[in-house]
Amino acid sequence: DQQVKQNSPSLSVQEGRISILNCDYTNSMFDYFLWYKKYPAEGPTFLISISSIKDKNEDGRFTVFLNKSAKHLSLHIVPSQPGDSAVYFCAASAGTALIFGKGTTLSVSS
Amino acid sequence: DTGVSQDPRHKITKRGQNVTFRCDPISEHNRLYWYRQTLGQGPEFLTYFQNEAQLEKSRLLSDRFSAERPKGSFSTLEIQRTEQGDSAMYLCASSSAPTGAWETQYFGPGTRLLVL
């Protein structure tokens, strides 16, 4: 039973356009959400996070939106760059351990 | 570079052998985590230390797995009598957060284990 779901295995976007990656969760105890980026053969790299008391957090080209009533969060990347091509993982926490989705592979073409 | 480091980066072993991995967290991070990632999945939590105390273990952590953090700094993860199903990327993460605060975990590069 997956508590964190990333329903789109892949996403293709043109350079300069917006990339929107989605994530749904089922556990209402989650109070902190994170996005990680992962290249092959490397560990996940932290991108951005949001706590449950906020509905938006922005850091440069990256913005995360949280809709608690829908148990949904999204990561927006604007503008997308070829170097953004990687696997993006959504993760949620209710205290210590992170629960991850299966990831979305983003491909940004120039 | 003062990030999380893991050693070795790759390990090939035969079924039934024991293996040990090491993780050095970011300096002064009091929390250390082990995760396992298999192909097509996100990382899955295995165990967690606060300083030298092992506070939480996943049901994924069978009796063949043991982890230590003897002085509250580096940690080791040992797998005894390896099985082919143990083949995976083993990830270490560390964090530092006051009690009750939201924490961000920073990951190392991982150790890729292949059991033949």
- Per-residue pLDDT of A46-79, as tens digits, reads 999 999 999 999 999 999 999 999 999 999 999 9
> Shortest CB distance from A100 goes to which of B40, B43, B48?
B43
Percent of chain B with pLDDT over 70: 96
Flag if B48 and A97 touch (Cβ within 8 Å). yes
The β-bridge relationship of strands B75-79 and A104-109 is unpaired
Q: List CB contacts (< 8 A) between B55 and chain A.
A: 96
Q: Are B112 and A42 in contact (CB under 8 A)?
A: no
- CATH of range A4-109; options 3.30.390.30, 3.40.605.10, 3.90.45.10, 2.60.40.10: 2.60.40.10
Strand-pairing partners, residue A56, are A65
**Closest CA relative to residue A68, chosen from A20, A21, A8, A28:** A28
| Residue-range domain boundaries for chain A | 4-109
Q: What integer pLDDT is reported at residue A96 of this predicted model?
A: 86
